[in-house]
Amino acid sequence: MNDDVKLVAAFLALNAGVIALAFAGYLKGSMNIGAVLQHLAQ
C-alpha cells in the first residue's frame, strides 16, 4: 500500500512538472493563454 502511494505521488508530481513546463513555454512564446484554455474548454 505504501508503495502505491509513493507511485501515485510521483506520477502526480511528474504530471504537474510537465504542465508547468508547457505553461512556461506558452508564456515564453507570448501565446494567448486565455485562447488556449478557451479552446480546451470547448
SS3 per residue for 23-37: HHHHHHCCCCHHHHH
pLDDT digits (tens, 9 = 90+) for 10-26: 999 999 999 999 888 87
Higher pLDDT among residues 35 and 12, named by residue = 12
20: left (phi over 0), alpha (psi -120 to 50) or beta: alpha
The residue range of the domain holding 16 is 2-41
**The model's pTM:** 0.60
Q: How many domains does the chain have?
A: 1
